[in-house]
Amino acid sequence: MARMNLDIDVLRTLAAAYQLGSFNRAAEQVGRSQSAISQQIHKLEERVGQPLFRKQGRGLALTEAGEVLLTYARRILDLNDEAVNAVTGLAIDGAVRFGMPGDFAETWLPAALGRFKRAHPTARVEATVDRNTSLIERLNKGKIDLALILGLEADTGGEVLANFPMAWIGSNHSALNSGEPVPLAVFEKPCFFRSASLAALDAAGIPWRIEFTSPSLAGLWAAVDAGLGIAVRTSISAPPHLANVGNRLRLPKLPSVELRLHSAGRTLTPASARLREILLETLPDEIASRRRSAQAKPQLTLVGAEKAARARSNRKPSRTRRV
């Protein structure tokens, strides 16, 4: 039986269609028409003998066969791109200073930085994992080039990657006795997660007490795991053995936060620009899914867009706000 060879361009289209959630947006990214993209995917489905996509609302979702093929496609594309960079002499050098919160340090960071380093071995990455407040300060002072920042929806600047609801995170054994204050595990001030939890409890008339204060996310999770208190963060950043206990414990609703990719408006160096590309290419599935959902929402009407543009033009430029 003759071996089947998969076309690199078609695999790139498959990955783009999944990441962007539609053939139309994938066509813009790879520089082809939507009909050409649809035809490519159809031929790939015929070649492997399985449907790869199914309709889901206004977007697309992978079938089981599509998920399997996408996993291999990403590996093939990574190797292809690394090989091209290695043999064409287009390797990027220089340094890139990058910061991100601890929420993604054990999941997203190794995948993104590992891929960047393999593709560009002569480039130097200076990575910082810190609290949002410190990252914003370093970004505004020009001490880092690129940063992932968690912030409130009212904040501006940077590219919005996803929106996450805050969540009450506790252990499976977390319980509240009637009339007793809610025990909280919190970050040191300033922290908008801390402020949001206290404001929500106060608004609901629920008593609370700060049981544990930590300067680090690891310390926060250790306290929650030990049953010392309940923390407010996002479900995506919580360790798998902890859970969202808000509904079970009848705790009040919390606001949402946005994950933004910031450069403080500066022109990126080639190394920084390439790291930005890889960060977007290696988005964890939940972030990629939320990004696709946000992109699929109807855009501003012309009148709304004009109003927004006028409001922006009347506003003085501002630096990234501390949270």
Confidence of residue 91 (pLDDT cuts 50, 70, 90): low
Give the mean model confidence (pLDDT) for residues 169-191: 88
Strands 159-170 and 243-244: antiparallel
Give the mean model confidence (pLDDT) for residues 135-147: 91
**Is a pLDDT exceeding 60 seen at residue 195?**
yes
> Residues 269, 94: contact at Cβ < 8 Å?
yes
Q: Cβ atoms within 10 A of the Cβ of 243, count?
A: 18
Confidence of residue 107 (pLDDT cuts 50, 70, 90): confident
Quote the longest CA-to-CA distance of the chain. Answer: 72
**Is a pLDDT exceeding 80 seen at residue 3?**
no
**pLDDT, mean over the chain:** 82
* Class of the CATH domain delimited by 94-161+261-282: alpha beta
**Is a pLDDT exceeding 80 seen at residue 199?**
yes
% of the chain with per-residue pLDDT over 70: 87
Distance, CA of 131 to CA of 128 (rounded, Å): 10
Query: Residue 199: phi, psi to the nearest 5?
Result: -65, -40
Residue with tokens 């060879």: 5
Residue whose C-alpha is closest to residue 131's, from 150, 112, 155: 150
Domain 8-88 has CATH 1.10.10.10: yes
Lowest mean pLDDT among 84-93, 104-113, 295-304: 295-304
Return the SS3 of 159: strand
pLDDT at site 126: 92
Domain boundaries, the chain: 8-88, 94-161+261-282, 164-257
Of residues 313 and 207, which shows the higher confidence score?
207
User: 34-49 in b/e burial notation, b at 16+ Cβ within 10 A?
Assistant: eeebbebbeebbeeee
Give the mean model confidence (pLDDT) for residues 81-96: 74
| DSSP state letters, 59-104 | EEEE-HHHHHHHHHHHHHHHHHHHHHHHHHT----EEEEEEE-GGG
Give the mean model confidence (pLDDT) for residues 201-226: 93
Distance, CA of 197 to CA of 195 (rounded, Å): 6
Confidence of residue 155 (pLDDT cuts 50, 70, 90): low
pLDDT at site 19: 78
pLDDT digits (tens, 9 = 90+) for 276-307: 988 988 888 788 777 776 665 443 332 333 33
pLDDT digits (tens, 9 = 90+) for 254-274: 999 989 999 988 888 888 998
pLDDT digits (tens, 9 = 90+) for 27-37: 777 777 878 88
Q: Which CATH architecture has domain 164-257?
A: 3-Layer(aba) Sandwich (3.40)
**Model confidence, pTM:** 0.68
Give the mean model confidence (pLDDT) for residues 154-168: 82
Of residues 182 and 4, which shows the higher confidence score?
182
H-type alpha helices, 167-301: 192-203, 217-225, 270-281, 285-296
% of the chain with per-residue pLDDT over 90: 29
Note whether 94-161+261-282 and 164-257 share their fold: yes
**Residue 273 CA neighbour count, 13 Å, CB half:** 8
The encoded tokens of residue 323 equal 């949270």
pLDDT at site 309: 37
Distance, CA of 196 to CA of 166 (rounded, Å): 9
